[in-house]
Amino acid sequence: EDLEAIIKESRRVCIPGGVLLLEHGYHQGHDVRFLLSSYNYQYVKTDRDLAGHERVSYGYLMTRSSE
């Protein structure tokens, strides 16, 4: 719920072309990518840490929200 709130609210302050990076638990990559896509972030990806666990997901906001 916290990550979803951050993703949702970031649409109001992120400039077009900006990127939102979120560090998360190793088991949350799929869900975070889904949330980023659901809030119209594009080019969504997840990077792994040195142990090979999904750790940071990010996406680009191409247009600012009118919400």
The pLDDT of residue 63: 77
Sign of CA dihedral 26, 31, 34, 38: negative
Q: Quick one: pLDDT at residue 49?
A: 97
**Which tens digits make up the pLDDT trace of 8-58?**
999 999 899 999 999 999 999 999 999 999 999 999 999 999 999 999 999
Left (φ > 0), alpha (ψ -120 to 50) or beta: where does 4 sit?
alpha
Is the pLDDT score of 64 beyond 80?
Answer: no
What is the CA angle 48-50-53, rounded to 5? 40
Asked if residue 66 has pLDDT above 60, the reply is: no
Instruction: Select from 60, 58, 18, 24 the least CA-distant residue to 42.
Output: 60
pLDDT score, position 1 = 86
